[in-house]
C-alpha cells in the first residue's frame, strides 16, 4: 500500500510539473507568415507555391528553369486578395438602367448605393403653322 502511494504521488508530481510546460508549448502558436514564395512560369503565367507544407520557408525556396520567383504579401498566412472596386458602376436590365456609387462598407462588405436612371424623352418637334 505504501509503495503504490509513493508511485501515485510521484506520478501526480510529474503531471503537475509537466502541466505548465505543456500549456506553454501549446500556447506558442507559430507566427503568421508575412510573405509567401510563388513561382510563376515565364510562358503562360501558371503559379506554383514554394514549400506548400511550410509557408514560413516558402519565401526562401528556389524556382525551376523557366520560372520567375514572386513574393506575395499575406494576411495570417494566406495571400491578400487584391480588390479594386470602381467608384461608379452602371447596370442595365432590359430598359431599366441604374447607376451605383460606392458607399460605406457594411460589416466589412463593400456596398453600392444605386439610383435608377429615368431616361428623359427627347423633345418632339411640333409642326408650326
**pLDDT at residue 76 in the model:** 66
**pLDDT at residue 85 in the model:** 78
What is the model's pTM? 0.37
Per-residue pLDDT in tens (0 to 9) along the chain, 129 residues: 555 545 545 554 554 555 554 445 555 667 777 788 889 999 888 888 888 788 778 778 888 999 999 888 877 655 666 667 788 988 888 888 899 998 888 887 888 888 988 877 777 777 775
Report DSSP letters for the chain, one per residue: -HHHHHHHHHHHHHHHHHHHHHHHHHH-PPPPPSEEEEEEETTT--EEESSTT-HHHHTT--PPTTEEEEEEEEETTEEPP-----SEEEEEETTEEEEEEE---BTTB--EEEEEEPPPPPPPPPP--
Q: Where are the domains of the chain?
A: 35-79, 88-117
Amino acid at each position: 500500500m505504501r509503495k503504490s502511494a509513493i508511485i501515485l504521488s510521484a506520478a501526480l508530481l510529474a503531471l503537475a510539473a509537466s502541466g505548465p510546460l505543456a500549456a506553454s508549448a501549446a500556447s506558442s502558436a507559430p507566427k503568421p507568415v508575412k510573405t509567401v514564395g510563388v513561382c510563376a512560369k515565364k510562358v503562360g503565367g501558371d503559379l506554383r507555391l514554394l514549400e506548400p507544407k511550410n509557408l514560413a520557408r516558402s519565401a526562401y525556396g528556389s524556382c525551376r528553369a523557366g520560372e520567375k520567383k514572386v513574393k506575395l504579401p499575406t494576411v495570417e498566412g494566406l495571400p491578400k486578395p487584391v480588390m479594386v472596386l470602381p467608384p461608379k458602376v452602371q447596370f442595365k436590365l432590359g430598359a431599366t438602367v441604374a447607376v451605383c456609387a460606392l458607399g460605406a462598407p457594411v460589416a466589412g462588405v463593400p456596398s453600392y448605393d444605386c439610383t435608377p436612371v429615368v431616361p428623359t424623352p427627347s423633345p418632339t418637334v411640333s409642326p408650326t403653322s
